[in-house]
Structure 1
């Protein structure tokens, strides 16, 4: 019997998220685990541009999250994995622990986005706090490294931001 019977895969559609989804899917298949897929849109970005986004209907934002979720569910289904999808709008540092506890998962899988110390300081990043907010294991996947402004072979380059889980 595996220690990881119920896995929460966090997916945001970025390259890092796609890497986490692929790694989490392989692990779930090997362990024959129950899979939950969570897509979260970070409302911090929307709050920063509140003057612009105040005219954006909430259902457009919700549809965007649902679209990313559907994409992830299709990718899992293509691998033969049946997953239950969940979406949320809010701070991933709040939403991921909430869903992990609510779903009683044994493992959370998230992608890591490499940033410089200056970028973390400037952006007020507190990603390491995810580990302090959950009571289960967390697998942080590391996609291929990319050099500044250029991609290395094998990366998708599909985005700039991943769900939280950063080690400082």
Structure 2
């Protein structure tokens, strides 16, 4: 079972769902956190400094540790993976590498202007690439 975790409210919701599934199925959880320098570079007009990249990596490592610690407190064995790149690409590669048959991701329903502005939701990109099962936990926008 693979959990995409980035520390957001929707990721925390996905973590709770993943924990209950892992306990019910006695499954090991692989947690993947992605450092997306490509998307961040686009948002900063290509002006991505080394300091910013290091901070993005530190934030991702912290979120990954939090997820593994939370799962561990619930008696779940979890392995952590930090990957660089576009989230959908990195997650697809990790699913293939780990031969995971289930992924759990969080999603926040966007409202108002946010529905029209910004990138496509991650789960839609993953739907087009994956061959396994996916659980999407939806939180209020």
Output the TM-score relative to the length of structure 1. 0.74
Structure with more of its chain in strand, by fraction: 2
Match of 1:68 in 2: 63
Shift of residue 91 of structure 1? 1.3
Select which of 96, 101, 126 maps to 2:96.
101
Is 1:138 the equivalent of 2:134? yes
Normalized against structure 2, the TM-score is what?
Answer: 0.87
Query: Which of 40, 58, 62 does residue 53 from structure 2 map onto?
Result: 58
Paired residues for 1:9-24 under 5 Å = 9-24=3-18
Question: How far 1:129 moved relative to its partner?
Answer: 2.2
- Take 1:74 and 1:65, find their aligned partners in 2: how far apart are those partners? 14
Aligned residue pair count: 139
How many Å apart are 1:84 and its aligned residue?
0.7
In structure 2, distance between residues paired with 1:129 and 1:58: 24
Q: Name the Cα RMSD after superposition.
A: 1.9
In structure 2, the residue corresponding to 1:80 is in which secondary structure?
coil
In 2, Cα distance between equivalents of 1:123 and 1:59: 24
For structure 1, the residue ranges without an aligned partner over 5 or more in a row are 1-6, 147-168
After TM superposition, give the deviation of residue 123 of structure 1 in Å: 1.2
- The list of structure 1 runs, each at least 4 consecutive aligned residues, that deviate by more than 6 angstroms after superposition, is none
* More off after superposition, 108-117 vs 121-130: 121-130
Q: Distance in 1 between matches of 2:78 and 2:50?
A: 34
Larger radius of gyration, structure 1 or 2? Answer: 1
Contact between 1:65 and 1:88, CA under 8 Å: does it hold in 2? no
Query: Displacement of 1:40 after TM fit?
Result: 1.4
The match for 2:78 is 83
